[in-house]
Amino acid sequence: MRFGIDRLSTCGALCARLRGARVGVLCHAASVDSDLVHLRTALGALGIAPRLWLAPEHGLAGAAQDMATIGDARDRTGAPVVSLYGSRFEDLSPRPEHLAELDVLLIDLCDVGSRYYTFVWTALLALRACARAPAPVHVVVLDRPNPLGGVAFEGRTQAPGFCSFVGLEPLPVRHGLTVGELLVHFARRDGLPLGPDGALSVVPVEGWSRASLAHDWGRPFVLPSPNMPTPDTALVYPGGCLLEGTNLSEGRGHTRPFEVFGAPWLDGEALARDFHALGLPGCRARPLEFQPTFHKHAGLVCGGIELHPTCREAFRPVASYVALIALAARQSPAHFRFRTERYEFVDDIPAFDLLTGSEEARAAILRGDEPLAIAESTSAFDPGHAELVRAASALAATAAW
């Protein structure tokens, strides 16, 4: 299997265009080829010298923690590094003065297949900014496969008014799209022309079976953000990220973030027992205690569980974690809380609602509805999404180099 970055050197027409153009690059630390060579080095070997780097959340080096504001900088060659993750929503798009210096923007971002993960929305905002620039900038995506595969979907599409930077456009939580497919889908909807002579083109992945997950690829998994260290983390993340909308620790400050979670007041053994009684497939909950070194409940011993997927095909992360959160709320209503602080540039909508896509799951948990019923409702997805994915895949092929 060859990712877009692996195929770049064999795309003669594209390389020739990049050598003769003013090039910008939107990438991060995980933008490496099959030999773990970073895109910066790969471009240099091809005689391509970007004059501008754009950095998504966590920064170009991937060192910053979640929701940490990042400033502009210079790379080791002195080229400017422009942050696309500042303190305001307006900071999420490249500015006109930066795009005025470019002819082409090259995008290579490792996504993890969940609607909440912000890199795809950074890419979409960059594409839209490039398209509306006075001198439009052509965007080229070096595509990568979806680590969660391209055939399994889960999670309701956002209701009107609940789109945000953790879901800028309506999609299921586990969406099954690659970055290139997502961009061509919304580019077509926006009326942008596709292909090498249009607003957006793609260097597609070669040899990817859509049923395969990152565990099956036979190449190292490079963490795209500080708390996404392994393919197992990515597998649980469509559900595990929902913990960010609560006062439960999602395991930041532990070696297995999102797989481990809990709180000082939580009884992990009772939680595991109650969860197994629901009969959700493909995973087991193991009670444990842990002590986060930073983030929520830092320095305190937390009771909780580690969720172990036992069958990747059967595992339903959204349903599993919604059920676990509902059970945790039921176990200790005096201690459990939903997050009310500002979250991803939004002040007036609870984080849990932004993540689930409406207020319904939060309201049902607060009412004390049955955890399994809440889980099934929240994890349901539009059956028409499978056709959207097929169409986006076909569309990406028409935009290919």
By percentage, how much of the chain surpasses pLDDT 70?
A: 100
Same domain, 21 and 168: yes
Taking a C-beta distance cutoff of 8 angstroms, is the pair 200, 392 a contact?
no
Same domain, 253 and 337: yes
Decide if pLDDT at 11 tops 90.
yes
pLDDT digits (tens, 9 = 90+) for 341-371: 999 999 999 999 999 999 999 999 999 999 9
Same domain, 26 and 135: yes
Decide if pLDDT at 75 tops 90.
no
pLDDT at 77: 79
pLDDT at 220: 96
Cβ-in-10-Å burial (0-12, 13-18, 19+) of 371 comes to buried
pLDDT digits (tens, 9 = 90+) for 236-247: 999 999 999 999
Same domain, 44 and 187: yes
Taking a C-beta distance cutoff of 8 angstroms, is the pair 282, 312 a contact?
yes
Same domain, 155 and 243: no
**Cα angle for residues 206, 210, 215 (degrees, 5° grid):** 90
Decide if pLDDT at 226 tops 90.
yes
Identify the CATH number of the domain in which residue 123 sits: 3.40.50.12170
Length of the chain: 401
pLDDT at 67: 87
Same domain, 30 and 65: yes
CB atoms within 10 A of CB 117: 23
Mean pLDDT, rounded, of the chain:
97
Cβ-in-10-Å burial (0-12, 13-18, 19+) of 199 comes to buried
Same domain, 372 and 389: no
The secondary structure element, H or E, covering residue 138 is strand 138-142
Same domain, 245 and 373: yes
Same domain, 134 and 246: no
pLDDT digits (tens, 9 = 90+) for 257-301: 999 999 999 999 999 999 999 999 999 999 999 999 999 999 999
pLDDT digits (tens, 9 = 90+) for 126-157: 999 999 999 999 999 999 999 999 999 999 99
Same domain, 111 and 259: no
Provide the residue range defining the domain that includes 44: 4-222+385-398
pLDDT digits (tens, 9 = 90+) for 76-127: 878 899 999 999 999 999 999 999 999 999 999 999 999 999 999 999 999 9
Identify the CATH number of the domain in which residue 298 sits: 3.90.1150.140
User: Can you tell me the distance from the alpha carbon of 164 to that of 20, in angstroms, rounded to the nearest whole number?
Assistant: 37
pLDDT digits (tens, 9 = 90+) for 24-60: 999 999 999 999 999 999 999 999 999 999 999 999 9
Same domain, 215 and 354: no
pLDDT digits (tens, 9 = 90+) for 155-197: 999 999 999 999 999 999 999 999 999 999 999 999 999 999 9
DSSP assignment letter at 53: E
Q: How many domains does the chain have?
A: 2
The secondary structure element, H or E, covering residue 289 is strand 283-290
pLDDT at 54: 98
Closest CA to 113 of 250, 271, 231, 272: 231
Decide if pLDDT at 387 tops 90.
yes
Same domain, 364 and 392: no
